Amino acid sequence: MRTERLAADAASIARAAEILRRGGLVAFPTETVYGLGARADDAAAARGIFEAKGRPPGNPLIVHVPDVASARALAERWPDDAERLAQAMWPGPVTLIVARRPDRVADEVAAGGTTVAIRVPVHPVARALLDAVGLPIAAPSANRSTQISPTTADHVEKSLGGRIDAIVDGGPTAVGIESTIVDVTTSPARLLRPGHVAAEAIAALVPLQTTAGLITATTERAPAPGTHARHYAPRAQVALVPAEAVRDEVERAARGGARAGAIERGRGTADGRHAEVLPADPAGYAAALYAALHRLEDAGCDVIVIAAVPEDPAWDAVRDRLTRASAAA
């Protein structure tokens, strides 16, 4: 299959919408990461996502819609907590899990479950595409399953080129990590995946319980995307170590014959051209993390040593991604 590379202009958006309407696969930018889109009401199109990504069938997809009314139309029940969060947080990087209408969302999208994950993106390209298609679009991250999420069109091309119909190039994404996922089918609501929007902001609006470190076996249906133990991971071995141990770990790996890279926060101690220093604040770090992992992977690093981030709740989403990236394959 030849993968078309499309610009983020009106003609390209129209072309991407045409591909999606006929059941094809299109990668496009959101404010979080690039998503791999297909019609959420088409079982064959949804299966195409799982095949292209090599995604376990028990891992549900997030459905993207242009507004709150479109989200309500996919739900069997729309709780008060869903309305409160939707009005406050959408458009934006928050995903709500609600009971689904089976006539509006394919079983494959929901991984055979009774719920569906929905969000309204804020990215202008994603919004233009949703308006042009006129259909709900299922879109997990546009990469092979468990691998590093893409924050540029080049990342998508590297992972899925030749497997999908088209990529809409909207430049680098701004947030850089995936959305916060909240299950509003229960009361109190449950935070299933930390993301750019902190638990504190959600809890200020609705009663909330957190499920920190939630892990789902790959043979089971996951309650939400991103709950498998290994996720967001480069091909290299990832070692999380205290900040003061980064230099020693890099040198030890190099002495063992490995090509070693490092990711540090705020300031660097590791020498060499495979050292990445990311911002000291959690939002800046998150925005830069996946791109740094892609660069180190592309440089051929066998080992990536990452300085552990603070235990502060502001770092929960980043810590979740690093923990899963360093899990054993």
Task: Check pLDDT > 90 for residue 126.
Answer: yes
Q: What is the pLDDT of residue 250?
A: 92
Residue 115 annotated in ligand binding: yes
Peptide bond before 234: cis, by omega within 30 degrees of 0?
Answer: no
Averaged pLDDT for residues 6-11: 97
Residue 98's domain spans which residues? 4-210
Residue 127 annotated in ligand binding: no
61 within domain boundaries: yes
**Do 183 and 59 fall into the same domain?**
yes
**Do 61 and 148 fall into the same domain?**
yes
**Do 276 and 198 fall into the same domain?**
no
Kindly report, residue by residue over 34-50, the tens digit of the pLDDT: 999 999 999 999 999 99
Kindly report, residue by residue over 66-98, the tens digit of the pLDDT: 999 999 999 999 999 999 999 999 999 999 999
Residue 32 annotated in ligand binding: yes
Kindly report, residue by residue over 145-189, the tens digit of the pLDDT: 999 999 999 999 999 999 999 999 999 999 999 999 999 999 999
Quickly state the pLDDT bin for 268 (edges 50, 70, 90): confident
> Look-up: residue for tokens 């992992």?
293
- Percent of the chain as helix, strand, coil, to the nearest 5: 30, 20, 45
Residue 179 annotated in ligand binding: yes
Quickly state the pLDDT bin for 214 (edges 50, 70, 90): confident
**Do 169 and 287 fall into the same domain?**
no
**Do 138 and 269 fall into the same domain?**
no
| CB-count burial class (<10 Å; 0-12, 13-18, 19+) for 75 | buried
**Do 61 and 199 fall into the same domain?**
yes
230 within domain boundaries: no
13 within domain boundaries: yes
Query: Which CATH number is 275's domain given?
Result: 3.40.50.11030
C-beta neighbour count of 238 within 10 angstroms: 23
Q: What is the pLDDT of residue 325?
A: 95
Which of 162-171, 270-279, 314-323 has the weakest average pLDDT? 270-279
Task: Check pLDDT > 90 for residue 328.
Answer: no
Quickly state the pLDDT bin for 271 (edges 50, 70, 90): confident
Quickly state the pLDDT bin for 217 (edges 50, 70, 90): confident
201 within domain boundaries: yes
Q: What is the pLDDT of residue 249?
A: 94
pTM score, two decimals?
0.96
Separation CA 86–CA 80 (nearest Å): 10
Residue 145 annotated in ligand binding: no
Quickly state the pLDDT bin for 267 (edges 50, 70, 90): confident
Residue 59 annotated in ligand binding: yes
Residue 149 annotated in ligand binding: yes
What percent of the chain is modeled with pLDDT above 70?
A: 100
Nearest of 288, 291, 253 to residue 272 by alpha carbon: 253
**Do 79 and 149 fall into the same domain?**
yes
Residue 285 annotated in ligand binding: no
**Do 109 and 249 fall into the same domain?**
no
**Tell me, what amino acid is at 144?**
R
Residue 5 annotated in ligand binding: no
- Provide DSSP, 145-175: TTBPPPSSHHHHHHHHTTTSSEEEE--S-SS
Quickly state the pLDDT bin for 219 (edges 50, 70, 90): confident
Average pLDDT, the chain: 96
C-beta neighbour count of 20 within 10 angstroms: 27
**Do 173 and 308 fall into the same domain?**
no
Q: What is the pLDDT of residue 57?
A: 94
Q: What is the pLDDT of residue 110?
A: 97
Quickly state the pLDDT bin for 32 (edges 50, 70, 90): very high
**Do 314 and 190 fall into the same domain?**
no
Residue 275 annotated in ligand binding: no
Query: Which CATH number is 91's domain given?
Result: 3.90.870.10
Domain boundary residue, one of 172, 195, 210: 210
**Do 160 and 243 fall into the same domain?**
no
**Do 274 and 161 fall into the same domain?**
no
Task: Check pLDDT > 90 for residue 100.
Answer: yes
Residue 139 annotated in ligand binding: yes
222 within domain boundaries: no
Residue 218 annotated in ligand binding: no
Specify the number of domains making up the chain.
2
